[in-house]
Amino acid sequence: MSYEELPYTAESIVIPTAEQNFIDAADRQCELFYADQLHKRYPKYVPSEPSQVYAALKYVTDKGLLVSNTFVEWGCGFGVATGLATFLGYHATGIEIEPDLVQIAYDLFVQENIEAQLICSSYIPDGIIEYENFGTTDVVSDNFNRSSNSRPCYPEMNLQIEEIDLFFVYPWPGEQEMMLKLFDTIAGEGALLIAYFGDQDTHIYRKIDDSKLA
């Protein structure tokens, strides 16, 4: 297995009223986050630009690039991408390891009537090991503690990782390659990854089967 990058150029789009109301509510939560000095506790947390995230989500949806409608956000923070995915008809799940951020996302979802799953856990699934490698982060399959027939999984989800159609991630600096490797390692054939690397720097990748390229 491998992956390929799909051509994508970020464009400004008109955000529908309901989605914009949700974005505005998330922005208010972000303002409170900084006013309460919580950014000092989570210095690496930086929110993505919601309009650019929505544009990418709508692009893959309108192009019909997915088989189904399951969505997972890795490191969801306030859950903005997860919430926006629900407006486009996805069964969305946000995974975030920090309980304070999960609570903010939960409160936002309740306030805005967003129906999505939040999991307080690492986005590194069972069966995968994360480790430091010469100053960067890498992942490898945990072949020592799992049987040869088992696959990586998120125990809190009622589906296999191979059934997830669309992933989204805004990786920390230095973790971009690791997130691409994680996607390559666990995603099913045809799955997409929207990777937001920064302002006007969004990339879309598709998992492919190398044997079908011959």
Residue 39: which of 77, 82, 76 has the closest Cα? 77
How high is the pLDDT of residue 9?
92
Of the candidates 66, 62, 73, 53, the one whose C-alpha atom is nearest the C-alpha of residue 188 is: 66
Domain with 102 in it: 15-209
Q: Which helix (H) or strand (E) holds 93?
A: strand 91-96
Q: Would 143 be classed as within a structural domain?
A: yes
- Domain-embedded: residue 34: yes
Residue 3 covered by a domain:
no
Residue 28's pLDDT is 94
Q: How far apart are the first and last CA of the chain?
A: 13
Residue 100 lies inside a defined structural domain of this protein: yes
Domain membership flag for residue 8: no
Distance between CA 102 and CA 76 in Å, rounded?
Answer: 8
Q: What is the pLDDT along the chain (214 residues), one digit of tens a residue?
A: 699 999 999 888 999 999 999 999 999 999 998 887 777 888 778 889 999 999 999 999 999 999 899 999 999 999 999 999 999 999 999 999 999 999 999 999 999 999 999 999 999 998 887 666 655 565 666 554 555 456 888 999 999 999 999 999 999 888 899 899 999 999 999 999 999 999 999 999 999 986 655 5
Domain assignment present for residue 5? The answer is: no
Tokens of 154: 């998120």
Q: How far is CA 192 from CA 33, 166, 186, in A?
A: 31, 5, 12
CA dist list (Å): 108 to 29, 67, 116, 118, 149: 8, 29, 11, 12, 39
| Buried/exposed code over 188-204 (b: 16+ C-beta within 10 A; e: otherwise) | eeebbbbbbeeeeebbb
Residue of 124, 134, 131 lying closest to 185 (CA atoms): 124
Tally of structural domains, the chain: 1
Q: Classify residue 7: in a domain, yes or no.
A: no
The domain that holds 56 is classified in CATH as: 3.40.50.150
Q: Does 62 map to a domain? A: yes
